[in-house]
Amino acid sequence: MVRVLLKCIAACGRVCGVVKGPHPSHWTGNLAMASLSTRSGTSPLDISGLYPPIATPFNKDESIAYDKLTNNLQRWNEIPFRGYVVQGSNGEYAYQTVEERVEMVRHVVQLCGDDKLIIAGSGCESTRETIEMTQKMADVGAKAVLVVTPCYYKGGMSNDALVHHFSVVADHSPIPIILYSVPSNTTIDLAPEVIIRLSEHPNIIGLKDSGGDISKLGNLVYMTKKNDFQILAGSAGFLLPAYVVGCVGGVCALGNFLGKEMCELERLYKEGRMAEAKDLQHRMVAPNACVTRRFGVPGLKVAMDWFGYYGGPTRSPLMPMSETDTKAMRDIFVRNGFLSN
């Protein structure tokens, strides 16, 4: 498998150039940044490991069910996750107020303390608002922030615009920044040349990439390694290949209900038990597709309910799954050995 992946990288790797944008000498901003993440002194924050991008539990009236969140976290805390991503795509952050987004992070930080690394989604459409949200997330205890690609004015999101956006946010952030490329939602696949350029910024320490292009990930690992830049797989569907090409972990929706299995895959890989790891990865592909690109957050929440977590309803305008789709998804989980008939 490793040979196949390396061959794929050699055949498909993109040639990366240089992007115009702020020169490193112009990166200033928050003085606290220097003590938290520097490339010339102490090492940047280590984000290696596995993280579920936790779902936001809602009551029937679509208010946030903090009691259900507490119950879910008590179970997740028994799994050897490195930490949690709060207010990512699977958290339905786009449908929440500023106050709700911040309070969710505060709640998780208070329940987990220092035992888990909490990464908060702080991305907004404008640079100014993203800076403000990032500061709020830092204030309630997040150790790093995940900043999604702005996309509403897609035609204006040139490489230069994106370099400028992420650079200015990082300049002003008191905690490290992790880039978040999720083209299935934003329709913008963050270009390798943009990522490589941004990897030079002392307060941009990594990338979560949900695109699934293994040749791209392998090339990025190689091109950014001198900058201590860390790359996380954005889906369990390609977690093992991502590890093989040098990614340091993953932020995977499947971890919301198959966390033990996801951590087992990581363990098998690190112990060199590749045949077993490959078998488990193969079994994860179809269920993962169900709760990501096929049925999305509604599918994720149904699966959580199946496995004894609280998924609950989505927030409008997301709709609940139909009985037909629910049955189709359950058949896939049964076929891959994660549920019985």
Sheet holding 117-121, edge to edge: 49-51, 249-251, 230-233, 204-209, 177-181, 144-148, 117-121, 83-86
**CA–CA separation, 69 and 311 (whole Å):** 9
At residue 25, the pLDDT reads 41
Active site annotation includes 136: no
- Mean pLDDT per block of 10 residues along the chain (341 residues) reads 40 38 46 43 85 98 98 97 97 98 98 94 98 98 98 96 98 98 94 98 98 97 97 98 98 98 98 98 98 97 98 98 98 97 82
In the annotation, is 180 catalytic? yes
Cα 101 to Cα 81, 98, 292: the distances in Å are 22, 5, 21
Instruction: Locate 92 and state its tokens.
Output: 């339905």
Q: What is the pLDDT of residue 113?
A: 86
Q: Which domains does the chain have, with CATH numbers?
A: 29-273 (3.20.20.70)
Query: Among 68, 136, 143, 208, which one carries the catalytic annotation?
Result: 208
Tens of pLDDT, residues 203-231:
999 999 999 999 999 999 999 999 999 99
Q: What confidence tens digit (pLDDT) does each residue in 167-178 have?
A: 999 999 999 999
**Count of H-run helices and E-run strands, the chain:** 14, 8
**Angstrom distance (rounded) from CA 179 to CA 30:** 18
Distance CA(152)–CA(186), nearest Å, equals: 8
Query: Packing angle between helix 127-139 and helix 159-172, nearest 10 degrees?
Result: 30
Q: Is 148 annotated as a binding residue?
A: no
**CA–CA separation, 316 and 322 (whole Å):** 15
Q: Give the pLDDT confidence score for residue 177 in this predicted structure.
A: 98
Per annotation, catalytic residue among 51, 84, 93, 180: 180
